[in-house]
Copies of this chain bind each other. A is one copy, B any other.
């Protein structure tokens, strides 16, 4: 194993940049050794159903931490982490409508808000790259391709909707290696949910992703599909809660956890 250069940014450095306002954009490639998380903040009144939705759909909704109500700190993810300031950019939703995209939610904080942090595929992508498995969307500088599938998630209270997946194309040997590597990381979506024929999971056309960028699938390659953190975001939007706060796309919470610590073996 090669030692990472000491000069790579740490999770806490990225959080402090977000907190100070220096960083208000995406976190792709920021602090590559550290776990980044999707953020969902809802009032306590809706927290049980959202927690249940995550429990029932662990592949798209792998929970890294849940705060106490009103508590902005998540010490298991970072000693000084403050969820009100440490995400570079937030989205504030009222009744399912996007209201604003602030870089700080201190003024919106309430003592009944519960924060959920969910694992994201950046962690397993780092593991794939470290193992020499190429990722075309990264090579091309694109966002990963995402699709709404015909697979329904298991509902909980007001939360339901289709499973959303990411797609990455691989040579067959790399597809097999990708299954092995991502199986080690169940807390960041884990093993793929499907490979091969997109129609088998209700995706009509790979060239028309529902979110992100179109990614070329070359002759002889296998498209491989993973459960995606957009699934709970879409379920949250569809539930039209009076108030919900999320991270803005790509503007993740960067934690102090090392990606490699999430490996179950």
Contact = CB atoms under 8 A, between A and B. Distances in A.
Interface of A: 47-48, 51-52, 54-56, 63, 65-66, 68, 76, 154, 156, 180, 183-184, 186, 190-191, 264-265
Given A56-B66, A66-B56, A190 B264 contact: yes
Contacts of A51: 48, 51-52, 55
A265 B183 contact: yes
Copies in the complex: 2
Given A56-B66, A63-B55, A154-B76, A264 B186 contact: yes
Contact of A55 (B56, B66, B180, B183): B66
Nearest to A49: B48
A76 B183 CA distance: 22
A65 B52 CA distance: 9
A191 B264 contact: yes
7 interchain residue pairs of minimum CB distance? A183-B265, A48-B48, A51-B51, A186-B264, A55-B63, A55-B66, A183-B264
27 contacts: A47-B48, A48-B48, A48-B51, A51-B51, A51-B52, A51-B55, A52-B66, A54-B55, A55-B55, A55-B63, A55-B66, A56-B65, A56-B66, A56-B76, A68-B156, A76-B154, A180-B265, A183-B264, A183-B265, A184-B265, A186-B186, A186-B264, A190-B264, A191-B264, A191-B265, A264-B264, A265-B265
A35 B42 CA distance: 34
Most buried by B among A47, A56, A154, A265: A265
Given A52-B66, A55-B66, A264-B264, 5 more contacts: A56-B76, A186-B264, A190-B264, A191-B264, A265-B265
Nearest to A75: B154
Contacts of A56: 65-66, 76
A47 B156 CA distance: 14
A154 B67 CA distance: 12
A56 B75 CA distance: 12
Nearest to A52: B66
Contacts of A48: 47-48, 51
